[in-house]
Amino acid sequence: MDERIEEKLYKKIKNVCVLILDVDGVMTDGKIIIDDLGNEVKHFNVRDGHGIKMLMRYGIDVVLLTGRKSAVVEHRAKDLGINEVHQGTHDKLLIFEAILREKSLRYENIAYIGDDIVDIPVLRRAGFSVAVADAAEHVKKYVHYITKNSGGDGAVREVCELILQAKDKWSDVAMRYELI
């Protein structure tokens, strides 16, 4: 990545204290399996989950904000220790603004990862906005960063690492896992 672009991104990311994630198409590949009994199944990437856990360990709050409602999402959130989950949200911007008020935050304190046109109003306001590599083309022109990885396939982990690097926490992570 061009150093000037990286420096500009890092400046945006330094103010981030909350990462808000869409679920379908971001934490998953966007595919939903429904069996004959109506049970819903989604695939989550374990490395994305570990990235979320690392972020939270370093004081970055993680919130899920999704238009669909699914018990699977509640289970995944609980497994990861994510306490704030908004499901069945048809107006994501309304919830986004409520999160800002409740946490006394500003736009620049929020990173948001989305993949579809329903995410655009939030992406346009977030201090650090991200689209996954396989996001709808309309979405990509409204973000600061497009991941190299697709939704459900490491995109969330990629952003978690980027945030940790920009906030000068990566060396702590590297030492913990003996990367250096």
- Domain span including residue 46: 22-59+69-83+116-122+132-169
- Global confidence as pTM: 0.94
Per-residue pLDDT band at 4 (split at 50, 70, 90): low
Is 155 part of a structural domain of the chain? yes
Which uninterrupted H or E stretch holds 40? strand 40-41
Nearest to 135 by CA among 32, 64, 41, 30: 30
Residue 53 maps to a domain: yes
For residue 8, give the nearest of 127, 135, 157, 140 by alpha carbon. 127
Q: How many domains does the chain have?
A: 1
- Would you say residue 102 lies in a domain? no
- Per the rule left: phi > 0, alpha: psi between -120 and 50, beta: everything else, 111 is beta
Does 14 map to a domain? no
With respect to residue 93, please indicate whether it lies within any of the assigned structural domains: no
Quickly state the pLDDT bin for 173 (edges 50, 70, 90).
Answer: confident
Distance CA 77, CA 49 (A): 10
17 within a domain of the structure (yes/no): no
> How many angstroms separate the CA atoms of 103 and 99, rounded?
6
* CATH code at position 165: 3.40.50.1000
39-68 pLDDT, tens digit each: 999 999 999 999 999 999 999 999 999 999
**165 in a structural domain:** yes
Within a domain: 5: no
Helices (H), the chain: 3-14, 46-57, 71-80, 92-103, 120-123, 137-140, 155-166, 170-176
Predicted confidence band at 88 (pLDDT cuts at 50, 70, 90)? very high
pLDDT tens digit string along 140-165?
A: 999 999 999 999 999 999 999 999 99
Number of residues written out for the chain: 180
